[in-house]
Each structure stands twice: as C-alpha cells, then as structure tokens.
C-alpha cells in the first residue's frame, strides 16, 4: 500500500509544535458540515429551486430543510428568490450564488470518491457527463502552473497573516 503525505517544510516539520488555528477546512465544515447541507446543495446543482423539490428529493423533513436552507442562504451559498404562481401564495425559491457554484468541485469529488469507495459495487447510480463531449466529469487538483498534483507532491507552508 502506498502512503500519501504532504511534506512539511521549515518550521512546520515538527507538526506537534504548531496548530492549524484559523483552519479554512474547519471553517468550511462549520458552513456545510451537515449531511443535509450537502444533499440540498446537490439538488441545487441538479436544478432544484423550490422548497418542496428540496424536501422531496433529499427526503429530509420540512423543518430540517428550512433550517439548512436558511443556513446556506446566510452563508452565501444560496440566494432566496421567492416566486408566485397565478392564484397562489408567494413561496420560497432558491438559486446558487457564485460561492455556491464554486462548491461544485467539492460535490463532484465527494461523489467520485463515494462511487469508488462507499458503495459495494464500486460505482454510483448516476454519472455526471460533459455535455460537449459526453465524457465523465472528474475532479483533478492542479497547481497554478497547470501540473496535476498528488499529496506526495505537496509542501505545506504557512502564509503570512493578513492584516485586518
């Protein structure tokens, strides 16, 4: 079995001597760390916009869906956009914001990982395919110069703190 590890450089080499305070992974999980949040975002990417669609497609309760949708709106991943059909009352609708659309690679990566490692068959029930060529969509990590990157290729460095 191959071990994949990020290489720690400089003062980071002694991992127990420093803490990842202000970790952006932890901050992201504070926003979307609930299972229902991921499912609601999945449905938003699949085209759901109406509250009843989210509830039906995620199979979570109305109160839980309402709470998570409020959190996702508050975090800026979804935007509330009410709609009204003729003769009906106004109802809540939702659409992805720019921040929500940027979450797409996270969901694709989680889906692809789940296809391979979290199912007995090693394959999922749905596949995302590129409309332009029909090939399956995947997530690849690249550096700014365009090189594909694996964990063994990484150095972890601490960036200077931004001034507030």
Residues 135-150 pLDDT 10s: 999 999 999 999 999 9
Which pTM does this prediction carry?
Answer: 0.83
Measured distance CA(79)–CA(35) in Å, rounded: 20
Domain limits of the chain? 20-156
Is residue 104 over pLDDT 90? Answer: yes
CB 95 within 8 A of CB 44: yes
Digit-coded pLDDT (tens) for 20-52: 677 888 899 999 999 999 999 999 999 999 999
Whether pLDDT at 163 is above 50: yes
DSSP state of 159: P
The continuous run of DSSP H or E covering 21 comes out as none
CATH architecture of 20-156: Orthogonal Bundle (1.10)
Instruction: Please give the Cα distance from 136 to 157 (Å, whole number).
Output: 34
10 Å Cβ neighbour count for 100?
21
Report the distance separating Cα 136 and Cα 159, nearest Å. Answer: 36
Place of tokens 């590890």: 5
Task: Please choose, from the candidates 109, 45, 50, the residue with its C-alpha nearest in 3D space to the C-alpha of residue 77.
Answer: 45
């Amino acid at each position: 079995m191959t071990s994949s590890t990020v290489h720690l450089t400089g003062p980071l080499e002694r991992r127990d001597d420093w803490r990842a305070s202000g970790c952006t992974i932890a901050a992201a999980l504070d926003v979307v760390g609930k299972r229902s949040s991921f499912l609601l975002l999945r449905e938003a990417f699949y085209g759901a916009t109406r509250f009843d669609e989210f509830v039906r497609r995620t199979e979570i309760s109305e109160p839980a869906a309402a709470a998570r949708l409020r959190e996702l709106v508050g975090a800026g991943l979804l935007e509330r956009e009410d709609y009204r059909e003729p003769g009906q009352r106004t109802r809540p609708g939702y659409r992805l914001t720019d921040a929500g659309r940027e979450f797409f690679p996270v969901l694709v990566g989680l889906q692809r990982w789940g296809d391979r490692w979290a199912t007995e068959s090693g394959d999922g029930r749905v596949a995302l395919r590129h409309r332009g060529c029909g090939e399956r969509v995947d997530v690849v990590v690249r550096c700014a110069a365009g090189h594909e990157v694996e964990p063994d290729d990484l150095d972890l460095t601490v960036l200077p703190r931004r001034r507030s």
